[in-house]
Structure 1
Amino acid sequence: MAVGILDSLAAEERWLYPPFLAMYAAIYCAGHLALLSRRWARPLRLDGASCLISLAHGTPAALAAAGAILAMHPRARGFAAPNSRLQEHVLDYSVAYFTMDLLHYLAFLPGDALFIAHHLATLFVFVTCRYLVRHGAYALLVLLVLAEVTSLLQNAWTLAGIWRAEKPAAARVYRALSPPFYFLYTLVRGVAGPLFFLKMSLFYLSGQAVDVIPWWVRISWIVVVGTAITVSNLWIWNLWKELFRERNQTVAKKST
């Protein structure tokens, strides 16, 4: 089934960004209505609606990106290779998601500067690759796989975290999910991501892509991706510290 979907996407000649954006908008609005009917408080409803579109994006985007990479001939998997039609459709799928989530933050959470900056930077990288240079999608799709492979677990952990103060069951789920999520996130963002980023950076700094990707685009990609990886690792490091602090406090209470 997945292969059939990828084949149909590869054969699709239409511009798919508008329908993808409409899909995310529909999911977002449906999520708001569903959560409103359950009488969720406004902050919880906003977080829940954002998580819903993240769920619709994360795992499908990771699978589609992996499929688009595997569909390439091994010799065509290069940092300066031209984008295939399938690769550009996958990029449009992600561009539509980040557009919708950015609108969410601008409309309801304009003070959340970190997320807004992250989404703007991500959109800059994807849009320049998709519409300006039309080369280098291989590198971004690998990074997309690494970024979204943890998405399903992260969203489940986030939703449990939203409710943990009010629902004991959610608190138990949150505590159970935290160690495996932190471990997987650390493995992907702390090990695999930096290694691939180093390989990508060395290639782009070597000047081998100068004929198809301008210097300013390559340098900006390196800066944006490098910053995102650094921030992600600082975030997960702080979560690990909080987890061990809570565990130590629990042990100390039991021993007294």
Structure 2
Amino acid sequence: MALALCLQVLCSLGGWLSLYTSFCCLNKHRSYEWSCRLVTFTHGVLSICLSAYIGFIDGPWPFTHPGAPNTPLQVHVLCLTLGYFIFDLGWCVYFQSEGALMLAHHTLSILGIIMALALGESGTEVNAVIFGSEITNPLLQLRWFLRETGRYDSFTGDLVDLLFVALFTGVRIGVGARLLFCEMASPTPRWFVKVGGIAMYAVSWCFMVNIWRFAWRKSSKKYRAWRSRRSDEGQYRLNGHLKAH
């Protein structure tokens, strides 16, 4: 069983590495980060679809069955995601592209998935955490691509930021709090699984603080620019009226 899991994770890691290499070959005029973020975007969309299917259709429901035995589909998705996180963590460390908070998030994700696979249980809530963690990922990557192509300072950029902040606040903080409460209240999950859940939720709050700081700065900048335009328009109309007389 352990050998089969290791082979699945290695196949996943090889697949993500192959996809990254393909993107690098297809985008030779772009940076390595461009190709890595394409891989991240692909994983984000794929993991959202798979984890949503598991949570909402295949089951069991994470809010009522935390600590339940892993299903075969959960195991496959966990192995797929574990291979990605190993790839992305290695890439981030090699290129030194991320700070300590993101590295901590990746490390906790890897440890949490390994724990669920080794125990053969708690895949239900780990899958739910994957869904909540990845639901904002495509928007984050889209924001980066908009900045790289010079299209971020537009209505599309504002919409992406608004959706990102709303989803992060509502899902990772709001729904995440409900999931953590169910995890802590249930007697089924092991104590160290609960500790891991608390750590992941704490990391989400650290991200949340940074995100709201960014949102406040951007909103303040937009408001000042709007006030400045209104003032300039008012002055222009006043000058025009004076000149007319």
TM-score normalised by length of structure 1: 0.78
Which residue of 1 is the match for residue 136 of structure 2?
A: 150
Q: Structure 1 regions of 5+ residues with no counterpart?
A: 1-11
Q: Report what 1:135 is aligned to.
A: 121
User: Which residue in the other structure is 2:153 paired with?
Assistant: 171
Matches within 5 A, 1:1-256: 15-35=7-27, 37-38=28-29, 40=30, 45-69=31-55, 70-72=57-59, 78-109=65-96, 112-131=99-118, 133-163=119-149, 167=150, 169-172=151-154, 173-203=156-186, 208-209=187-188, 213=190, 215=191, 217-256=192-231
Distance 1:189 1:235, change over 3 A: farther
- The alpha carbon displacement at 1:200 in A equals 1.6
RMSD between aligned residues: 2.6
- CA shift in 2, pair 1:135/1:93, >3 Å: same
| In structure 1, distance between residues paired with 2:138 and 2:46 | 10
CA gap of 1:20–1:201, structure 2 versus 1, over 3 A, is same
What is the CA deviation profile of residues 180-232 of structure 1, one whole-angstrom value per residue up to 9, with x for unaligned ones?
222222221232222222222232xxxx226xx3x3x2243133222222123
SS at match of 1:122: helix
CA distance in 2, matches of 1:53, 1:196: 28
Q: Distance in 2 between matches of 1:209 and 1:184?
A: 29
Contact 1:83 1:134 in 2 (8 A): yes
Structure index of larger Rg: 2
CA distance in 1, matches of 2:81, 2:5: 18
1:5 paired residue number: none
CA contact (8 A) 1:32 1:46 kept: yes
Identity across aligned pairs (percent)? 16
Shift in CA distance, 111/87, structure 1 to aligned 2, threshold 3 Å: closer
Query: Do the aligned partners of 2:89 and 2:106 also contact (CA within 8 Å) in 1?
Result: yes
Deviates more, 1:134-143 or 1:183-192: 183-192
* CA contact 1:77–1:138 (8 Å) conserved in 2: no
Question: Structure 1 154/74 Cα, relative in aligned 2: closer, same or farther at 3 Å?
Answer: closer
Show the counterpart of 1:3.
Answer: none
How far apart, in 2, do the equivalents of 1:196 and 1:219 lie?
Answer: 11
- Give the counterpart letter for 1:209 in structure 2: T
Q: Distance in 2 between matches of 1:247 and 1:57?
A: 33
Distance 2:88 2:62 in 1: 35
Q: CA separation in 2, counterparts of 1:141 and 1:237? A: 26
- Measured in 1, the distance between the counterparts of 2:223 and 2:5 equals 57
Query: Shift of the alpha carbon at 1:96?
Result: 0.7
Q: After TM superposition, give the deviation of residue 17 of structure 1 in Å.
A: 1.6
Amino acid across the alignment from 2:86? T
Q: How many residues align?
A: 226
Structure 1 pair 76–116 and aligned structure 2 pair: CA distance change class (3 A) = closer
Alpha-carbon separation, structure 2, partners of 1:74 and 1:23: 30
> Do 1:186 and 1:236's aligned partners in 2 also have CA atoms closer than 8 Å?
no
